[in-house]
Amino acid sequence: MSADDSKPQLDEPQIRARQQARAKVMALALAAFVILVFAISIVKMTGKG
């Protein structure tokens, strides 16, 4: 028995759906990080932090 036989086969739509979900999560995480860095920069520039 080869190593490929032990893995369940997923159809193309399932793979694409997982990739899209992962991409959305990564995009949200990146956007949150950018907003956080921007907010920290603004607070430091105004001198209130």
User: Is 32 contained in some domain?
Assistant: yes
Contact criterion met (CB below 8 Å) for 36 and 30: no
Q: What pLDDT was estimated at residue 10?
A: 77
Containing structural domain, residue 25: 13-46
The CA distance from 7 to 1, in Å, is: 11
Report the number of distinct structural domains present in the chain: 1
User: Is 22 contained in some domain?
Assistant: yes
pTM of the model: 0.66
User: Is 5 contained in some domain?
Assistant: no
Helix ranges (H only) for 1-49 are 12-46
Beta-carbon contacts of 43 under 8 Å, excluding residues fewer than 6 positions away, are: 49
User: Is 1 contained in some domain?
Assistant: no
User: Is 8 contained in some domain?
Assistant: no
User: Is 6 contained in some domain?
Assistant: no
pLDDT in tens, the chain (49 residues): 555 566 667 799 999 999 999 999 999 999 999 999 999 999 999 986 5
User: Is 2 contained in some domain?
Assistant: no
